[in-house]
Amino acid sequence: MRLKNSFLCLLIVVVMALVLGKTTVQAETVDQRPVMLVYDSKNIANHGDLNLDRCQRLLASLGLPVETIPLSHYQANTLKDGQYQGVITMVNWGQSRNRNQAFERDRTAFKGIKLHIGPGLQADERQGLGGTFKTLVHQQLSGHQGRAVQPLSTNQLLLVNVKHAANALSVGWLTSQNHPGTTYSFGVKVANNGFLPELSSDGLAITLAGQLITKLFKVPTRLQSPLLTITGITPYTKSRDLSRLIKQLSSRGTPFALSITSVDRNTDLKAFHRYTEVLRLAEKAGGLIFLRPPIETGTQRLNEKKLRSVFQTELTSLGADRVIPAGISAPGYWNRSERRQKAVLSRASHVILLPDQSQRLEELPVEPEPAVTNSHRFKAGLIGIPLASLDTVAYRSKIKFVQPTALLVKMPESRTKVDQLVQHLQDSKLQWFDPVRNHLKTTVKVGSVLYGYHSGQYFLNHEPITDLDASRKASSRNDDRITQTSWLNRVIQWQSRMLLWLLSFLGLILAILLLIGWRVYQRKFMRSDVKKGGINHFK
């Protein structure tokens, strides 16, 4: 009997373990299905393309893969329950009233998560959300998240939820300066349906949108501090200013990251080593390096293979000088392009997604983006938000960041501006992400080399690097390039030079002989001729 009891206990334990184990495994597997993002128009004239890019980056930072489709390109029966986690309808250009019946029909039938951003709420969406909506015209509104308040920069039409449905959950709220008493909820969640009035460039609006999406898509997140990231650092940045900034930040105990660009040529020049020297200074001060792929210019774009080789050259030349990037930072469109994604972004575990440059209507893109794009997810994607977008927030330290965020600051151009920036950061009272305290672990793989970072320690192919300056000392001797020409080239050079000398020597002799000859000729024959000619002439 005892044996039987103990066997039963064992059985129960085993079953329990199995069941529990299975559930934990299930909890860990993340939904791989993408989110469909359907937008009506890019509305480039009003920078609607930037809103779209912001939404894509926000989703990527929350670990959600995105498939972006313009409304006009949507084909019937694309949106199916099994294939997409959810659908986001983004209206960038309310006045245009673009409709696609097939999409609306499919969306009504779709049972997954639905989120609407912007005006132009359709009947099926209104039904899902319940409550009543109202369009606010030209009102100065402020967004609230807890105690943090920010006046919204938009003063266009804004659709807001006036009356909630019974089971509605609101995220953040809006107050109007015209009517201080009334408040509207910012983000609304009703079961599987969500609504956001806008996704503007205001920092607070982005964090609120992040919170709503987290709740809607049930993304497991925890509050995290933003990473201070200095952008726009190039090899041509004044090294004195950069090292001053690094020293001041480290002396104040502010953890930081640098988004740097490098060069793939001339890496043997002294100037390049001077650049890496400053970057090593940053590494030693606890700063993280995020390599930014070079700026694309000109009329041609490299294919995946060439792009990869450019990127590899940059990484290798930096690595040779012991500048170990912790990750990659790139504008949002790099994540939408398959080629750039594969060649560069997929190499790193941590990617900072920087905002796109605003397109200009009169400027045709060199390489038009395909209509349907896929944004990928990373082990850890960080959305880059300019720190300036939080400048107008009152009680800044109270902002909650649910998505991994990098707050971007442009590298100042002069010494006084460096001091001003450090002072500004001091005043902002934000709690910054500390890679050491948070046990950050990153990898960047390039070719056969694996660069690693783990709470302050750098690794090269899993081997810890003890002295960052070690390789530098060895290589400092070859700073000035010595071009070794082959003996054949030297012979040819020497030969051509000798030939020149010989020719000029012969030419000189020829000229002298010619002169002597001319003299002799003149003495013997010309004198009489000249006299004759002269006389004839005078005649």
Query: Whole-number minimum distance, CB 295 to another protein, in Å?
Result: 6
Q: Of 104 and 296, which has the nearer Cβ to another protein?
A: 296
Query: Whole-number minimum distance, CB 299 to another protein, in Å?
Result: 5
Gyration radius of the chain's alpha carbons? 34
Query: Whole-number minimum distance, CB 518 to another protein, in Å?
Result: 6
Residue 33 main-chain phi, psi, to 5 deg: -65, 145
User: Measured between alpha carbons, how far apart are the two ends of the chain, in Å?
Assistant: 157
Q: What is the CB neighbour count within 10 angstroms for residue 74?
A: 19
Q: Of 10 and 511, which has the nearer Cβ to another protein?
A: 511
242/238 Cα distance (integer angstroms): 6
Which one, of 314, 344, 318, lies nearest residue 331 by Cα?
Answer: 344
Residue 238 main-chain phi, psi, to 5 deg: -65, 120
Q: Following CA atoms 152, 156, 162, 166 in sequence, which dihedral angle do they give, to the nearest 10 degrees?
A: -70
Query: Whole-number minimum distance, CB 444 to another protein, in Å?
Result: 18
Chain residues that interact with another protein, rule: CB under 8 A: 234-239, 261-266, 269-272, 274-275, 293-302, 306, 310, 413, 480-481, 496, 500, 503-504, 507, 510-511, 514, 518, 521
Which one, of 314, 258, 315, lies nearest residue 284 by Cα?
Answer: 258
Q: Of 18 and 511, which has the nearer Cβ to another protein?
A: 511
98/119 Cα distance (integer angstroms): 12
Query: Whole-number minimum distance, CB 280 to another protein, in Å?
Result: 16
Which one, of 271, 279, 292, 526, lies nearest residue 408 by Cα?
Answer: 292
Q: Of 252 and 305, which has the nearer Cβ to another protein?
A: 305
Q: Of 167 and 496, which has the nearer Cβ to another protein?
A: 496
Q: Of 87 and 343, which has the nearer Cβ to another protein?
A: 343
Q: Of 163 and 265, which has the nearer Cβ to another protein?
A: 265
DSSP lists the bridge partners of residue 194 as: 115, 189
Those residues with Cβ within 8 angstroms of residue 474's Cβ, 6 or more apart along the chain or in another chain: none
Element (H, E) at 446: strand 441-446
Query: Whole-number minimum distance, CB 483 to another protein, in Å?
Result: 9
Query: Whole-number minimum distance, CB 234 to another protein, in Å?
Result: 5
Taken in order 360, 366, 367, 370, the sign of the CA dihedral is positive
Q: Of 464 and 533, which has the nearer Cβ to another protein?
A: 533
Which one, of 324, 338, 327, 262, lies nearest residue 293 by Cα?
Answer: 262
Query: Whole-number minimum distance, CB 521 to another protein, in Å?
Result: 8
